[in-house]
Amino acid sequence: MTSPTPDKPLSSSNRFRSIFIVLGALAAVLSPGMTIKAQTTHYLYGLHNTSGAADAANFNLVQFAVANPYGASTVTSSTRVANLGSYVSNYGAAGRYREYINGLAIDITTNDVYFNYTYNDNSASATAGNYTFQLYKGNLNGSVWEVDLVHSITAALAGGLPDSDSAGSGAFPRGAFDPVSNSYYTGGQLTDSLTRLNLNASGTAVTSIDNFSNFDLTPFGDYGGGDFVISNGTLYTSTVVDGENRLIRRTISGIENGTGFAAGVIMDDDLSFDEFGVVQIAGLGAADLLYGLSNSGSLFRFTNPGGGTEAALGITEIVDLSSFIGFGSVADISEALLAPIPVPEPSGALLIGVAGCLAILRRRRQS
């Protein structure tokens, strides 16, 4: 029996020839314009209403980890970040009706989280009385989650901003943050108008407010609920118009200049969103995918949110988020970060970690 002859190492010339053969084969497989995306994880953030009731304790900021977003995607975990309702001053006080937290938005450059809290002073009607809108900003300062009131507005309803409030989504259900202009965008219930709150450099105060009455969707009708996403100067709106779900796209410059919206409409009367029921949207900031959440709790992704037809949007269902939260519902989603927002370390866990380190040091000294 003879021993096998050991393989000879490749010479430098043969090694380079092999590398070029592999690269050539790869180039032949890839079509022009095709890109390879590494498997990664996107982090979505949702407003988890734990019981369906609009109580302060029920509004939790929850992080969902979406693994392999460009392939066979799945949500691998959900993590509670903070209870946002506990930071709202006097939530549930006498004289406040149809209170709600909504309009979740994240500044992708700082990981600051923005949300709004609204209520009405009229107990009998959702379309009368005065509404109060409060914008809050939250972030992790060291190991402590901090939330500050940025701005508060009180005005009469039925003035177009909004025309109604809702026990199920508040007076201003839509929200998005534009890091380019350092502005928070929001939209009122049962109206297609748009409000932009321009912030100072630290995001702690409003310097000016723009109301765009020319953000008009006639003949589609007024918005009912929904969500905003801002990406590269374009505002994406997912909402219900005349009982049907729609996804609409307009440039920010077009809104500012009052130019026509027709070219920006993705979903129209002949191309409804009802098959998927997507109302909440997120993404297109740090990540290049658009995500959608249906009223039933199903999470979708859009590989081509600029597509002009329903088929071109590339809609794929990922998972039912209710299987991760166990109870209640996800009322809003925001962003798709490439790295998670740091979660505050519970004091008990911190003490356990310190005790564990001390125990390890003691054992090392004794050995």
pTM of the shown model: 0.81
Place of tokens 């009367």: 269
Q: Judging by beta carbons within 10 Å of its beta carbon (0-12, 13-18, 19+), is residue 132 exposed, middle or buried?
A: middle
Q: What is the residue extent of each domain of the chain?
A: 57-350
Res 50: pLDDT: 78
Res 7: pLDDT: 41
Are residues 131 and 162 in contact, defined by beta-carbon separation less than 8 angstroms?
yes
Res 52: pLDDT: 67
Res 191: pLDDT: 84
For 121, residues 6+ apart whose C-beta sits below 8 A from its C-beta are 95, 96, 97, 129, 130, 131, 132
pLDDT in tens, 175-212: 999 999 999 999 999 887 789 999 999 999 999 999 88
Place of tokens 């990981």: 111
Are residues 115 and 184 in contact, defined by beta-carbon separation less than 8 angstroms?
no
Which amino acid belongs to residue 138?
A: G
Res 46: pLDDT: 94
Q: Say how far apart CA 143 and CA 149 lie, in whole Å.
A: 20
Which amino acid belongs to residue 13?
A: S
List per-residue pLDDT tens for the chain, 367 residues long: 444 444 444 454 444 444 333 333 333 333 333 344 555 899 999 999 877 677 888 899 999 999 999 899 999 999 999 999 999 999 999 999 999 999 999 999 999 999 999 999 999 999 999 999 999 999 988 888 999 999 999 999 977 789 899 888 899 999 999 999 999 999 999 887 789 999 999 999 999 999 886 566 555 667 778 899 999 888 888 887 777 777 788 888 878 877 645 444 544 433 345 556 668 999 999 888 999 998 888 898 988 877 766 677 788 889 988 888 877 788 899 999 999 998 886 543 333 333 334 443 444 444 4
Structure tokens at 134: 């409060």
Q: Say how far apart CA 177 and CA 184 lie, in whole Å.
A: 5
Res 92: pLDDT: 92
Return the closest-CA partner of residue 133 out of 156, 109, 161, 152: 152
Q: Say how far apart CA 31 and CA 8 lie, in whole Å.
A: 36
Are residues 205 and 191 in contact, defined by beta-carbon separation less than 8 angstroms?
no
As a whole number of angstroms, the longest Cα–Cα distance in the chain is 98
Which CATH code is given to the segment(s) 57-350? 2.120.10
Res 156: pLDDT: 93
Res 281: pLDDT: 92
What's the CA dihedral at 41, 281, 72, 268 to 10 degrees?
-150
Res 261: pLDDT: 52
